[in-house]
Structure 1
């Protein structure tokens, strides 16, 4: 370890360890981290007339979630106020939304986003799909427990109260961790549900696709293509529509290649007129510390342009600056 540190230096050692541990995020632990010093800098950036957003970006976009929690503790101890409350009172718009998201532990942020997607008039189905289709069994369990703790309600009850039909049943299945049925049973059930006859048996698709065992399902998809001569995604597009189609496609895409799924979601959030900021913010915040490097690589491969260039051309101001920091460079 000493020889590696000598060769690479402190920052190089951090990157080397991150690679060994499988960290594919653009946000990694800041070396020489001092939460008290960071808390004081943020306080100074907010006190008096106006706010020094550059300082807030410089600190929060370059600290891990765990480090930001320590900054919150140090801020409360030295200032006597909640950092999150102070940030909300000083910041506005999309910049505020992304900073608020960065200050939350991952399951708290997911629970927060799900609650916002459900409450009020209408439902942001895309949020429910993005989160519930892409999180692991362990992450889903943690989200459910956190949602109950933070909002005093059952996530499943809230989902059921705000959705209906087969779409509701898919979401509830994603919230339920089940054992995997036999492989041969699964691919035959998929074929019988779709390509084998006119009309679609969505319940059979639901039974198969909500199994949530990646290696198991990838083999199911291979067997399905052999027997039907069609990719499972093509069949879903032919057989379904609306939110149900979106949900099933999200499940399949996340199983096949999760970074590619998020790359596509980011692309669609920015292409054309206007930007779907809720999607852009949610993915950039949630994946910055996990697999943003892989998402960037998939984005470039899929669309021939860098994610950095897309964000730069589609956003502005401090919102753009913090997004680009989380994106982690032009390549």
Structure 2
């Protein structure tokens, strides 16, 4: 981190944040972002959601190990110290890196999972969020895609619509992020980028985090999804919303129209 510290004093503002991110390996950058989201007054819950809902088991284990090594603290302890309730339980479940990452789909179990989620939410007064947690944080992607289909059939609603109806705040955000990442991770990041730039002002922390973290992973896919979803290129959006060296470096990461 010594070089990063040196650069901190040489560069300024958002441009510095991008350069610092590019100097770090992916799990080091994620750990750094999580640390910044947690330390100090208040918590940037969006950062916790963006990272923990979208990373693989191996990536989460690497982030946790680096966090301990760099900051001398346990990531789970810090997350628990800064969050509460069901939101905390979902984040801790994601941090255990215990998701099934196989591709087998058990039809009977998928139907049962869909039924249990429906009965835990839309079919009752109040919501049993634990049922959502046990399915959404543990099952593999193929299985969950089948659960979502079955849920639509049983409830007449898309799972995302039900989450919005049944939950609010950070808990709603993290469950929606999990569902969206399972369905189409590049589309999830495209939506996050769009929301960071649309309207007045820019949420630079989100824009920087996603552009740096995904530049060498799935930026081409994110750009394709962005164009499909919003009818404009990500490049043109960044160009119209940023300026100076900050704009130049983000456009480099974007990789052209």
Do the structures match in fold with TM over 0.5? yes
The secondary structure found in structure 1 opposite 2:199 is: coil
Q: Is the 8 A contact 1:191 1:224 kept in 2?
A: yes
**5+ unaligned residues in a row in structure 1: which ranges?**
1-71, 73-81
Look up the match of 1:194.
121
Query: Which whole-Å CA distance do the structure 1 matches of 2:169 and 2:6 have between them?
Result: 41
Deviates more, 1:173-182 or 1:256-265: 173-182
Distance in 2 (CA, whole Å) between partners of 1:238 and 1:179 is 26
**Matched residue, 2:215:** 288
Give, in angstroms, the shift of residue 88 of structure 1. Answer: 2.0
Query: Which SS does the other structure have where 1:161 is aligned?
Result: helix
Give the number of equivalent residue pairs: 250
Indicate the SS of the match to 2:53. Answer: helix
1:179 Cα deviation from its structure 2 partner: 5.9
Corresponding position of 1:259: 186
Alignment gaps of 5+ in structure 2 = 101-105
The answer to whether structure 1 residue 306 and structure 2 residue 233 are counterparts is yes
Residue-by-residue CA offset, 1:121-146 (whole Å, 9 max, x unaligned) = 00000000000000011111111111
Matched, 1:99 2:19: yes
Preserved contact between residue 284 and residue 323 of structure 1 (Cα < 8 Å) = yes
**Superposition deviation, residue 208 in structure 1:** 1.0
Any conservation in 2 of the 1:189–1:204 contact (CA below 8 Å)? yes
Task: Give the aligned partner of residue 140 of structure 1.
Answer: 60
- How much is the aligned-residue C-alpha RMSD, in angstroms? 1.5
Where does residue 244 of structure 1 map in the other structure?
171
CA shift for structure 1 position 211: 1.2
Partners of 1:84 and 1:100 within 8 A in 2:
yes
CA distance in 1, matches of 2:96, 2:211: 27
Moved more, 159-168 or 208-217: 208-217
Q: What is the aligned partner in structure 2 of residue 171 from structure 1?
A: 91
Q: Does 1:127 align with 2:47?
A: yes
TM-score normalised over the length of structure 1 = 0.73
CA distance in 1, matches of 2:98, 2:118: 21
Higher-Rg member (1/2): 1
In 2, Cα distance between the equivalents of 1:149 and 1:184? 43
Deviation at 1:198, TM superposition (A): 2.2
Show the 5 A alignment for 1:4-23.
none
- 8 A Cα contact 1:137 1:212, kept in partner: no
Tell me the CA shift for residue 241 of structure 1: 0.8
Contact in 1 for aligned 2:110/2:150 (Cα 8 Å): no
